[in-house]
Structure 1
Amino acid sequence: MTETKVIRVLLVDDHPLVLEGINARLESEEGIGVVGCAGNGQEALEAAKRLQPDVVLMDISMPVMNGLEAAQRFHTDYPQIRVLILSMHDKREYIVKMIQSGAAGYVLKDVSSGELINAIRTVHNGGTYFSASASQSLFSSFDQPPAETVSEDKLTQREQTVLKLLAEGSSNKEIARTLDISVRTVETHRQNIKQKLNIQTAAGLTKYAIEHRLVEL
């Protein structure tokens, strides 16, 4: 019988009580293991080098090095590590900046523990995750100026469909099942989309899909 891979999570927050509470909840979840904790972005980067986590669950407002700077460093130095932001800030500018920095998801601290676990699993599987409040804040500006539509000469209809599914958090395997194509074909579509849009990160593709209304709440 194949042993289920445990998702290795590094927790980053400057409030010890928050770390203790999240740690206790995640440690009780099968398939998730907390490999370490850090109090700021600099400590997180140093810990990541030693511990090799799969997912970094990180706050934004921290001393020494904040979450924005740390997310940028993780994206550059450890691109294989998925960064999930857990924050009390729900302003759109915070969320957009974190997406641009390479974060794979953004959840607010008022989410349930079940949703947080779902977010961790989603980003670990290659998807992106935004809690309902974060998504609402991200979409708020679309009530005024009309969004630009996707240029047909940029993406084919199938590529638009693949991009939509990627932005909704589907993994390559899930997209392959949905569209009844091979995983290799999905990967080819994904690479073509990145080249056509000149966007290399999953978070960047998600932002593009949101701004061009390929994704609906």
Structure 2
Amino acid sequence: MYLPKTLAIVDDHPIVIQGLQMLLINNKDIEVGGCFTTGAEFMSFLKEHKVDVVLLDVMLPDCNGLDLCKEIKLVSPETSVLALSNHSERSMVMQMLQNGASGYLLKNAAVEELLDCIYESLKGEVAFSKAVKEIIARPSANDLKGIPQLTRREKEILQLIAEGKTTAVMAKELFVSPLTIETHRRNLLQKFEVKNVALLIKVAGQQGLLQSL
């Protein structure tokens, strides 16, 4: 006997829930098992019921969809999570995928796109609406900027900054004046386009520069 797949909707906008239910009401392959306006309600349901796929809003009143996605995958690894959001930032899409989502759709996606994504995720594939595919294809600002070109001395100073050394200690170790160290420090902040040392270390680390020094 053929059993339809169970789908849950988690969104704090009743009109969105209603609209999705209407779209899926006559679909023989998918049965809406429950609709929830908070993450807590859905997690309680998930612990007691099998859910094949969940359409998850990224922003909920009681929690962040990014964290909730992680939680869902811990409780029920076989549940496919499809993010459904108005947020079109590339970083948000990538973060959802890192947290275990099976796909990402914008709320302005066409009905056919929504259904295609649901079916794809049920087959174990990663699914995106057309607009999200375009967002992913666009490189981020950091990707475009590339890695700053550093002199040998700047690399040395960057490493010492990462080790938490003070200007005075660096000047002593490198046999230069503290003023020279401060000039290099300013140049590094400029090259990485950051405002402080904490951000400098963070960005240099993200670009793999600290490991390679």
**TM-score band (shorter)?**
0.5 to 0.7
Aligned residues: 144
The residue that corresponds to 1:119 in the other structure is: 117
Consecutive unaligned residues in structure 1, runs of 5 or more: 147-217
Larger radius of gyration: 2
Query: Within 1, Cα distance between the matches of 2:135 and 2:46?
Result: 30
The residue that corresponds to 2:52 in the other structure is: 54
1:110 maps to which of 108, 111, 123: 108
**C-alpha displacement at 1:51, in angstroms?**
2.5
2:41 maps to which of 43, 47, 65: 43
Letter aligned with residue 76 of structure 2 = Y
The residue that corresponds to 2:80 in the other structure is: 82
Cα deviation code 1:22-76 (max 9, x no counterpart)? 0111122121100001112222111112221100111101111121111010121
**C-alpha displacement at 1:145, in angstroms?**
6.5
Query: Within 2, Cα distance between the matches of 1:50 and 1:77?
Result: 11
The residue that corresponds to 2:132 in the other structure is: 134
* TM-score between the two structures when normalised by the length of structure 1: 0.63
- Over the matched positions of the two proteins, sequence identity in percent amounts to 32
The answer to whether the Cα contact below 8 Å between 1:83 and 1:105 also exists between their aligned partners in 2 is yes
**CA RMSD for the aligned pairs?**
1.6
**C-alpha displacement at 1:136, in angstroms?**
1.2
Runs of 4+ in 1 over 6 A off after TM superposition: none
Cα deviation code 1:66-119 (max 9, x no counterpart)? 211110101212101110111111110110110010000001111111210111
Query: Within 2, Cα distance between the matches of 1:66 and 1:88?
Result: 14
1:143-162 pair list within 5 angstroms: 144=144
Query: Within 1, Cα distance between the matches of 2:110 and 2:26?
Result: 15
Query: Within 2, Cα distance between the matches of 1:23 and 1:51?
Result: 19
